[in-house]
């Protein structure tokens, strides 16, 4: 929290005091934590907000809260499990037929501390954080390509700074399984995805960010020891969401190049000094190719 308080002295409040009525935003993982805080702030500014959540009951409570607190009725709910690639493809196909989209916010994530497989045989952290983000973005690119001032923001984590991209074991099948490190590897992959997308899609502004360590349900449940030690110095959910909001609505954000990694409204390096975390360009291209192959396996044409 101290880092946020110090950085925020230099923020220009006018950057986020904008009316975004008529613009459409999709936020994944929007029923709690940073996703809900972001959705609420966009709703306050008049945006149309699509909440993409896995848990229907919790999502309906969150939607009700956002509508009540902001008075904005243009809040729509979609129930999608981001660890299920078939569901994401199906959702994106239907969404494109019915809605427009200006800004995609990839916020949903999970940190499962034991190696768990989804019904498709995918390791759950990879399925949600990396493949889910990849498919959701790729599937909605055609819609974003048509939009004015289109943006894609992915919520990563500073934990990725300790990881070098490893394409040899995307599903963490070999060696001992450490959920925290697997999550950090997924978050490194999200940074690489953002950089690659920025190169390939010049008329969409891509960014990836670290929200700082915030007091969210996800941190409490996935990292209980860390939470107990740090709970008095964690950011609030709104402080964690501040840079996501800034990247989603401010005119200032898109004056900066596409593909950067942000913390507290500033681009920051994606590697620590002297850290051996840089990967060769061919590994980054190979990651994109592998994810494309994975994603196509789950893209159904009509049955039969």
What are the helix (H) ranges across the chain?
2-8, 33-44, 56-70, 85-98, 124-125, 133-145, 179-200, 217-222, 224-230, 237-249, 281-297
Query: Is 134 a residue of the active site?
Result: no
* Positive or negative: CA dihedral 134, 270, 268, 243: positive
Distances (CA, A) of 10 to 2, 3, 42, 134, 237: 14, 12, 22, 34, 20
Out of 4, 134, 183, 227, pick the active-site residue.
Answer: 183
Q: Look at residue 283 and give its three-state secondary structure.
A: helix
Check if the beta carbon of residue 207 is closer than 8 Å to that of residue 254. Answer: no
Q: Tokens for 248, please give them.
A: 């989603």
Q: Look at residue 231 and give its three-state secondary structure.
A: helix
Cβ-Cβ contacts under 8 Å for 285 (sequence gap 6 or more): 196
Q: Look at residue 137 and give its three-state secondary structure.
A: helix
Length of the chain as a residue count: 304
Check if the beta carbon of residue 172 is closer than 8 Å to that of residue 232. Answer: no
Residues taking part in catalysis: 183
């Amino acid at each position: 929290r101290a880092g946020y308080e110090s950085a925020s002295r230099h923020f220009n409040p006018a950057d986020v005091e904008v009316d975004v009525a008529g613009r459409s935003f999709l936020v994944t993982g929007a029923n709690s934590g940073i996703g809900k805080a972001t959705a609420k702030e966009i709703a306050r500014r008049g945006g149309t907000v699509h909440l993409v959540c896995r848990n229907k009951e919790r999502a309906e409570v969150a939607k009700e809260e956002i509508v009540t607190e902001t008075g904005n009725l243009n809040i729509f709910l979609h129930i999608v499990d981001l660890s299920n690639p078939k569901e994401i493809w199906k959702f994106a196909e239907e969404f494109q037929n019915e809605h427009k989209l200006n800004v995609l916010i990839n916020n949903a994530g999970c940190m499962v501390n034991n190696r768990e497989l989804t019904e498709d045989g995918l390791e759950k952290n990879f399925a949600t954080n990396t493949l889910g983000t990849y498919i959701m973005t790729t599937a909605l690119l055609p819609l974003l390509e048509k939009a004015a001032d289109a943006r894609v923001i992915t919520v990563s984590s500073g934990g990725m700074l300790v990881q070098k991209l490893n394409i040899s074991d995307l599903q963490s099948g070999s060696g001992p399984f450490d959920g925290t490190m697997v999550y950090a590897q997924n978050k490194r992959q999200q940074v690489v995805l953002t950089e690659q997308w920025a190169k390939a899609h010049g008329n969409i502004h891509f960014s990836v960010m670290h929200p700082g360590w915030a007091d969210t349900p996800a941190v409490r449940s996935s990292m209980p020891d860390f939470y107990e030690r740090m709970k008095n110095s964690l950011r609030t959910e709104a402080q964690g969401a501040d840079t996501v909001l800034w990247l989603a609505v401010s005119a200032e954000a898109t004056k900066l190049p596409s593909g950067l990694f942000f913390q507290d409204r500033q681009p920051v390096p994606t590697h620590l000094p002297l850290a051996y975390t840089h990967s060769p360009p061919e590994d980054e291209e190979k990651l994109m190719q592998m994810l494309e192959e994975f994603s196509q396996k789950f893209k159904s044409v009509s049955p039969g």
